[in-house]
Amino acid sequence: MLLGRVVGTVVSSHKVSSLTGLKLLSVKQLDALGQEKDSYVVAVDTVDANVGEIVLYATGSAARQSDRTLNKPVDAAIMAIVDTWEIEGRVIYQKEQIGKPEQFNPPE
Question: What would you measure as the largest C-alpha separation in the chain, in angstroms?
Answer: 47
Question: Given a cut of 80, is residue 68 above it in pLDDT?
Answer: yes
Say what the pLDDT of residue 103 is.
Answer: 58
26 vs 12, 34, 52, CA distance in Å? 13, 17, 10
Q: Domains in the chain: how many in total? A: 1
| pTM for the model | 0.84
Q: Which amino acid is at 51?
A: V
Contact criterion met (CB below 8 Å) for 61 and 53: no
Instruction: Evaluate if residue 65 carries a pLDDT over 60.
Output: yes
Count of alpha carbons within 13 angstroms of residue 5, beta-carbon side: 16
Domain that holds residue 18: 2-104
Beta bridge partners of 33: none
107 burial type by CB count under 10 A (0-12 exposed, 13-18 middle, 19+ buried):
exposed
CATH of the domain at 39: 2.40.50.220
pLDDT in tens, 9-50: 999 989 899 989 999 999 999 998 889 999 999 999 999 999
pLDDT bucket at 97, cuts 50 / 70 / 90? low
Interatomic CA distance for residues 92 and 57, integer angstroms: 18
